[in-house]
Chain A
């Protein structure tokens, strides 16, 4: 599904990622953990194509395609989805209109017919039912006046409707209370599928209490310094990150 090799990324002239290798197979859930400033968010932004993140070396192959040769919107239409840590507000545009525009951009790309508002409503209702949510957010302007939890929930709802093949979750758990965390995690679990992979960036282990990853990676100082199974997350929770950082320097 995704193969990242030797990835180096700079932001405003400062190198943040210094050679990242990552391979994610179809259906797998990978967790990327690490201390603040280690480059976790940079990895997801670079994969999604944010113009402020400059790829200086390395490759990323997604579904056999050179990911970095695609514009951000082309990556999205090909099935790469980023759940943002800080979703932006769009004044005057309802969530449902926004989401329908996004769905239709993807459908158009696939050569499918675009959905009119009524068709879309049916698709939306089916999705909401699937993840067990109501539609109270749909007629409000995109993220405007949303609480932190509502914004994160809205990102996951978009994920559900857009049905990506590669979902990147950037600190989706930050700012959530325990109930909201469970709600979001349950939805993600329901969206796990054999042909859909997840890369979940998180600072804390607590999200992984509800979403069991296949692989856990530790990112420190711009490199993946350790990879392991779900038990690695528990180890990190107990020991912190410092022992790995020192280890990285030695190796």
Chain B
């Protein structure tokens, strides 16, 4: 390993396990397990039926093997589909959260106690299969903003959930989305009413703790006409030799003149240097810019997981709607990532922007896969795509698969791609100016990712740069 490679392979800092009594459903999946999960959540009949429909569809589907990643067979009967701490607080009473949980999230930098909360950021903290705390709910309610665990939304706002759930990612969309629809446990629900600009950042932090379990969360965000919301998710998991499955679904709906900005800082356990252990992050994320002049913007910083398989996309249905995808994906150790986006242009004058930065180090394999589809009615559609890859060391790989499908001749498409390698000469130049080798790599990587980091909310840009072991100032200087 060269000095440069060592810089990007820092030890995983969030690999601890919380010793807490948990209620874990025995491993295995069948209709009874689906019913059991639904019963534990106290769900209405329509929800159970929807889950069962998804489960029956899933049985007929096959796990996709087209991504450019390699892994052994997953035994879906060996996974437990529900795990929750036994002592759960009563609703709306944050003071009763188990101190062990409070300590766990504090250690992850997510304070959920009243007095220590992040100012300006509301947090929903999800531990294994359940949400354990959601801050600032009352404050947000003053503005009519609903921010709560999705299980709570099903009980309290069934009309909204029923109206939108599965409208962007249907229960039979793909193998992992179908599995999620059958067994999803928690996740966040957001509704921003007409004309409201959500007064604070909303965020969810997902923590996997129990072993031999999977996490299947589902997030649904609805921005009503003329509203605006910025949402961020973060995540981490203990270091274990086994692989754990995380199959989430995220659905976004933006109505006329609404904007949703969705940011992800993904830091699941990536496995060790030999590729043992780590999270399989098989996720379906999609937003529908349903209304005219609506906008959906995805920003992701993917540093964790043994394998990442996700393509946050936008369906640009409304005329003049905008879709954006800004991504930094880092693969080091033996990590594999096959990630990118789908931009489906349906409405007139729809615009999409894709900026993807892939960084490969160690024996990491990084694949960008993106689809830009301009449908027949999408008169005057435009897309700009930029895919840059950076290689650190000579045992890693970068791959790019851009798919373009244009069915309207008025479309304007631009695609730029580049591959670069951090070289000895570049590092030496910076060291000759007094920077340490470590700071030199940081600065180069930071500059490479600048166009993506500047899209992150300020608080999280700090987190993202820190995650890459790099200083923030370079991206704002």
11 further A-B pairs in the complex, CB-CB below 8 A; given A90-B443, A92-B474, A101-B474? A48-B432, A72-B431, A92-B449, A93-B443, A93-B474, A100-B477, A105-B435, A105-B436, A105-B439, A162-B433, A162-B434
Task: State which of A71, A76, A91, A92 has its C-beta within 8 Å of the C-beta of B433.
Answer: A76
Tell me, rounded to whole Å, the shortest Cβ–Cβ distance linking B371 to chain A. Answer: 27
* Known contacts A51-B424, A88-B425, A101-B439; is-contact A93 B433 (Cβ 8 Å): no
Q: A93-B477, A96-B477, A97-B474 known; A84 and B429 CB under 8 Å?
A: yes
- Which residues in window 390-432 of B have CB below 8 A to A? 424-426, 428-432
A77, A81, A91, A92, most chain B CB atoms within 10 A? A92
Chain B interface residue count: which class? 20 to 34
Check B443 against A98 for contact (C-beta < 8 Å): yes
Closest to B427 in A: A51
Q: Which of A51, A73, A84 contacts B434 (CB 8 A)?
A: A73
Q: Which residues of A contact B429 (CB under 8 A)?
A: 84, 87-88, 90
Chain A residues contacting B98 (CB-CB under 8 Å) are: none
Contact between A93 and B446 (Cβ–Cβ < 8 Å)? yes
Distance (whole angstroms) from the CB of A177 to the closest CB of chain B: 25
Q: Is the CB of A51 within 8 A of B428?
A: yes
B431 in contact with A93 (CB, 8 Å): no
The interface residues of chain A lying within 8 Å CB-to-CB of B53 are none
Assess whether A19 is interfacial by the CB under 8 Å rule. Answer: no
In the complex, what residues of A have CB within 8 A of residue B448's CB?
91-92
A73 and B477 within 8 A (CB) = no
Q: Which B residues are in CB contact (< 8 Å) with A71?
A: 431
Most B-side CB within 10 Å, residue of A94, A97, A102:
A97
Interchain CB contact under 8 A, A109 and B424: no
Least CB distance, B5 to chain A, in whole angstroms: 14
- 0 or 1 for each of A173-190: is its CB under 8 Å from B? (1 = yes): 000000000000000000
Instruction: Verify if B444 is at the interface (C-beta below 8 Å from A).
Output: yes
With CB as the reference atom, state the residue of chain A lying closest to B436. Answer: A73
Chain A residue contacts of B436, Cβ below 8 A = 73, 105
Q: Within the assembled complex, what's the spacing in Å between the Cα atoms of A147 and B354?
A: 30
Contact of A65 with B by CB under 8 A: no
B451 touches A102 (CB 8 A): no
A217 to B473: give the CA distance in the assembly, Å.
Answer: 44
Sampled A-B contacts (6; CB under 8 Å):
A72-B428, A91-B450, A93-B477, A101-B474, A105-B433, A162-B433
What's the minimum C-beta distance from B200 to chain A, rounded to whole angstroms?
28
Q: Enumerate chain A interface residues (CB-CB to B < 8 A).
A: 48-52, 71-73, 75-77, 81-82, 84, 86-88, 90-94, 96-98, 100-102, 105-106, 109, 117, 141, 158, 162
Chain A residues within an 8 Å CB radius of B435: 73, 101-102, 105
- Residue-wise interface mask of B (448-472) relative to A, using a CB-CB cutoff of 8 A (1 in contact, 0 not): 1111000000000000000000000
Tell me which residues from 305 to 348 in chain B have a Cβ below 8 Å from any Cβ of chain A.
none
Partner of A106, one of B424, B434, B446, B477: B434
Q: Report the minimum CB–CB distance from B477 to chain A (whole Å).
A: 3
B447 close to chain A: CB less than 8 A: yes
Encode B175-197 as 1/0 by CB contact (under 8 A) with A. 00000000000000000000000
Given contacts A52-B424, A92-B475, contact A102 B433 (CB under 8 A): yes
The smallest beta-carbon distance between B439 and chain A, in angstroms, is: 7
Contact B432 A97 (CB under 8 A): no
In the bound complex, residues from chain B placing their C-beta under 8 Å from that of A73 are 431-432, 434-437
Measured CB to CB, the nearest residue on chain B to A79 is B434
Q: Closest A-chain residue to B388, C-beta based?
A: A91
Q: Hey, which chain B residues are within 8 Å of A117, CB to CB?
A: 477
Contact B447 A141 (CB under 8 A): yes
Q: Which residues of A contact B446 (CB under 8 A)?
A: 92-93
CB distance from B416 to the nearest CB of A (A): 13
